[in-house]
Structure 1
Amino acid sequence: MQKSRITELFNIEYPVIQGGMVWCSGWKLASAVSNCGGLGLLGAGSMYPDVLQHHIRQMKQATSNPWGVNVPLLYPNIDELMNIIVEEEVKIVFTSAGSPAKWTGFLKSHGITVVHVIANSRFAAKCEEAGVDAIVAEGFEAGGHNGREETTTLTLIPLIRKATSLPLIAAGGIGAGEQVLAAMVLGAEGVQIGSRFALSAESSAHEAFKQYAIAAKEGDTMLSLKKLAPVRLLRNRFFELVREAELRGATPEELSQLLGRGRAKKGMFEGDLDEGELEIGQVAALVDKLQSVADIFEDLKSGYNEARLRI
């Protein structure tokens, strides 16, 4: 895989960033990705401040390569998380689910490289104004929380490439080397891969969730809860309850009550395949076995190189 502004920005060998996914992206996964030459990210969205601090300290022991932390800006204890990140001298932070203007200045004042995740081209200008160092453009195919516009990665990357000159990372529906190359052709300079790493041996997700997602076929994930925050889910009993509620016109308040608290943890971390919220991207349909991070990287590299020869 080719060098780019993204590999230079993070000082990594390959332009591959692991998504900072809730309940999947602990220090074991993130350090494995960094040790393979990509950029591993801790998923702070599912970590209490003391848990994040523990994972940061484990990362320092597990790898000497670059790594970072993904922080959803809607996190309730965001001030505590940001202070821990500064105190622990984290070098790279990816922010998502909020305005880049909120924390970019604070982070950059402490010498931290900042990347912001967006799902539409309108936010590209806001990222530039905020002073971020790079952008992740996440398409509709992605797992977890998603853009309301439902713009696919194939369309989103060229749109954002036209809107900004910032280093650009493609995300959403990317899990194979051929897809990495396609993203580069569209104007991206790196990729962020979530679902395939969520289904790796080193992921902190529950084994039952991993196997259920690996068994998923085309069409087994759907975007749901659009009146709250759109999230891509695997079909299960909870998903069917949500779909029934949405079809009868349930209000946001009713949907919020149905969602309750801790659904994602119940499904992805504890392995409740009936009542849990099972977040995964469409690319899960292409994953047919559990692999180590090292084996995934070998697949990505070989797929990328073979695709280049076909062009």
Structure 2
Amino acid sequence: MINKITELFNIKYPIIQAGMVWNSGWRLASAASNSGILGLLGAGSMYPEVLRTHIQKCKKATNKPFGVNVPMLYPNVQEIMDIIIEEGVKIVFTSAGNPKTWTSWLQERGVTVVHVVSSVKFALKAQEAGVDAIVAEGFEAGGHNGRDETTTLALIPMVREQITIPLIAAGGIATGKAMLACMVLGADGVQIGSRFVASNESSAHDDFKQVVIDAKEGDTQLTLKELAPVRLIKNKFYNDVQQLYKEGATIEQLKELLGRARAKKGMFEGDLVEGELEIGQISGLIHDIKPVAQIVDDIIKEFEEAKTRVCLL
């Protein structure tokens, strides 16, 4: 399968394993890359030297391309970027910030830069900043999300209409059928997160993985828009957030409730009561935990079968 995305990243299939906090360590990223897709380390949950260790372990575990996802809202971004360059990583996905801040700096050092957006407006800004490709993420996605709640089905063709650079679809994608649908709508590839949370190689806690595969339609909700929109499993922490809203909470009160390390507590340490449990709506379609290689094989097989079926219509 050869297209703009496979050629851009030198991978077999136009699929990116999303760089998710507390889920995307070196085991997941290297397994993804070894399966023919692009694996990403999630720098958002790593101190700089922890990231360096994960990069070094990933390089030992795969000879295939892999990258790092860097949310730009953290204060130590310069140190993170320096480590990425020092360790020779050649692909960076940036998010949660202005793409102009780092795109040229990274490209001047031989790095391919992709920026994650949730709207046409920001897709155009990213293209203007000179990024090599864009991830357009619909509001079905887990993790930090767009405030406008534009779905992937609507977002992808609207972004495709406005940009000329390679486009990667994200949000609500876990199957080969969804991958084909996104590519029919104009995407050149897809980024998948939630499906890889429920993998053997994910660094998520086993209890969180179980919650993901037990999730049903309606078990997640987008919230905390005043801080950074995030889609959460409805647990006690989520209910506490909603109670604060009912009481007319200020941003400071929301920040106080969120505190520090809620996501780590939930997804990495397995506190299903007080932890922040981030996952996409597509969790309702995820029913098992599998090795990454099997997940990729299943997606590609279903993609090819669906493509054949569509051609016969």
TM-score normalised per structure 2: 0.98
| Equivalent pair of 2:123/2:136 in contact (CA under 8 Å) | no
CA distance in 1, matches of 2:307, 2:32: 23
* Aligned residue runs from structure 1 range 141-156, under 5 A: 141-156=140-155
Segments of structure 2 that go 5 or more residues without pairing to the other structure are: none
Other-structure match for 1:129: 128
CA distance in 2, matches of 1:228, 1:54: 30
| Equivalent pair of 2:232/2:279 in contact (CA under 8 Å) | yes
Give the letter aligned to residue 74 of structure 1.
L
CA distance in 2, matches of 1:79, 1:72: 12
> Once the two structures are superposed, what CA deviation does each residue of 1:182-234 show, in whole Å capped at 9, x if it has no partner?
00000000000000001111000000000011100000000011121110000
CA distance in 2, matches of 1:124, 1:261: 31
Secondary structure of 1:191's partner?
Answer: strand
Other-structure match for 2:67: 68
Other-structure match for 1:115: 114
Residue 36 of structure 2 is aligned to residue 37 of structure 1: yes
CA distance in 1, matches of 2:225, 2:70: 22
> Once the two structures are superposed, what CA deviation does each residue of 1:277-299 show, in whole Å capped at 9, x if it has no partner?
00000111100011110110111
* Aligned residue runs from structure 1 range 82-121, under 5 A: 82-121=81-120
CA distance in 2, matches of 1:183, 1:128: 20
Dislocated runs of 4+, deviation >6 Å? none
* Aligned residue runs from structure 1 range 154-165, under 5 A: 154-165=153-164
Other-structure match for 1:215: 214
Secondary structure of 2:226's partner?
Answer: coil
User: Post-superposition shift, 1:247?
Assistant: 2.4
Q: CA RMSD in A?
A: 0.7
User: Post-superposition shift, 1:248?
Assistant: 2.6
CA distance in 1, matches of 2:127, 2:220: 33
User: Post-superposition shift, 1:128?
Assistant: 1.8
- Taking only the aligned residue pairs, the percentage that are identical comes to 64
Other-structure match for 1:14: 13
Give the letter aligned to residue 294 of structure 1.
A
Other-structure match for 1:175: 174
TM-score normalised per structure 1: 0.99
Give the letter aligned to residue 132 of structure 1.
V
* Aligned residue runs from structure 1 range 169-248, under 5 A: 169-248=168-247
CA distance in 1, matches of 2:87, 2:183: 34
> Once the two structures are superposed, what CA deviation does each residue of 1:61-87 show, in whole Å capped at 9, x if it has no partner?
000011100000011210100000111
CA distance in 1, matches of 2:246, 2:169: 33
CA distance in 2, matches of 1:238, 1:11: 42
Secondary structure of 1:169's partner?
Answer: strand
User: Post-superposition shift, 1:95?
Assistant: 0.2
Other-structure match for 2:276: 277
CA distance in 2, matches of 1:95, 1:87: 18
CA distance in 2, matches of 1:44, 1:55: 9
